[in-house]
Structure 1
Amino acid sequence: MKIYRLATSLLFSSLLAGCAVNLPFNNRLNYTSIKQLAEIPKTQEAIVIKWNPNTFPQRIDVQGADSFVGSATRTRIPTGVALSNRIEEALSQFVKLTQKGTPLTITVDNARSGFEYSAATFNAPAIDVANVTFTATFEYKEEKWTKTFVSNLKDPKIGGSSQTGLLDSAWDDIAVQVAKDIANHINK
């Protein structure tokens, strides 16, 4: 009888606690994105990136899926880690990143990674809709500008073709957009 009560208590408490999903995210640009950045003319500019807030490159959001009601599932989404790594890698394709460079301050006004995923009995959780928004204010030399970057992707395959590939692609898309925008201001 004690074992039955213990098992019931354990089951009930685990249902209340929900579960956390840890997905295998990649924090590097894919080959296609790097190839797109090859079109940007290289410059002799040397810059140092200063993030505001300075904790953004370590930011991990714990959130549920968009448009999914009734679930206690929370997923760790490395929005700050993924975007900052990709943006820095994208910029390094055409400028020199060094601590002695001219400061490029990126003030993050809004960074959100929305997603929907499918999970069923016979397949692993897979992100099949990714919506990423990144709004930032940039300061370089005497210039200051604010811009919003958006990427909305949907996997046509039911069940998703990859656990994290679609969100990784959306972050890549944002990094390429940011790099091209910064290049337009640096290469004037």
Structure 2
Amino acid sequence: MKTLLRAFAVLAIAVGLSGCAISLPFNNRLAYSSISDMKSVQIQGEKPKLSIFWNPVNFPQRIDIQGSDGFVGGGSRTRLPTGVALSSRIEEAISTYADISPSGQNLTITVLEARSGFEYSAGIFNITPAIDVGTVTFNAAFSLNGKTWNQQFSSHKKDPTIGGTSATGILESAWDDVAVQVAKSIAAHIEK
């Protein structure tokens, strides 16, 4: 009976501790290098005005709670602002070549799949968790003035240094990469 109670107590403690969520300091803005890359996109004629609608409408507020894709932190409950990070970056990237305005052309982005994956750097000397691998997949259907298209975008980034250089930088870089891909795709469809 004592053994059964001890086993139950250990199980209860393990379950209780594994439910803790980790909140990392994510940045939801494009990096300067991504903004510079977007400035190379030129739209002929007058600068277009776009009114962006997200489907589902709550995608820009979406926060996923999940564990790491790797062994380290696989049981963690890490808060990933997948919808927040992607939608804000995509809109910022689009704003480099178009005015975002409620009176603009309707651009509807229907999110079919959006996933952020990550791996924490391994090592016993890591005091704070650092992400050293970031993987982002974004599959969406677009509708712009009667034109519709589906496209999948992805990015896989890996930090070559041991221990990671930033707690969140690699995943943020993958989000930037996908946002730039999406914005360039939209620009190409505006030009057609």
TM-score by length of 1: 0.90
Is 2:171 the counterpart of 1:167? Answer: yes
Whole-angstrom CA distance in 2 between matches of 1:108 and 1:14? 38
CA distance, structure 2, for counterparts of residue 14 and residue 81 of structure 1 = 33
The answer as to 2:48 corresponding to 1:48 is no
Alignment-mate amino acid for residue 169 of structure 1:
S
The reply on whether 1:93 has 2:92 as its aligned counterpart is no
| Number of equivalent positions | 181
Cα deviation for residue 45 of structure 1 reads 1.1
Alignment of 1:28-177 (within 5 A): 28-42=29-43, 43-68=46-71, 71-118=74-121, 120-123=123-126, 124-177=128-181
Change (3 A) 1:71 1:31: closer
TM-score by length of 2: 0.88
Structure 1 pair 163/70, CA: closer, same or farther in 2 (3 Å)? Answer: closer
> How far apart, in 2, do the equivalents of 1:12 and 1:136 lie?
42
- Which secondary structure state, in structure 2, belongs to the residue aligned with residue 125 of structure 1? coil
Separation in 1, partners of 2:178, 2:67: 21
* Deviating more after overlay: 38-47 vs 91-100: 38-47
Percent identity among equivalent residues? 56
SS of aligned partner of 1:34: helix
Post-superposition offset of 1:12: 6.6
Over the aligned positions, Cα root-mean-square deviation in angstroms equals 2.0
SS in 1 for 2:138: strand
Q: What runs of 5+ residues in structure 1 fail to find an aligned partner?
A: 1-8
SS at match of 2:139: strand
Give unmatched runs, 5+ long, in structure 2.
Answer: 1-8
> Secondary structure of the equivalent of 1:84?
helix
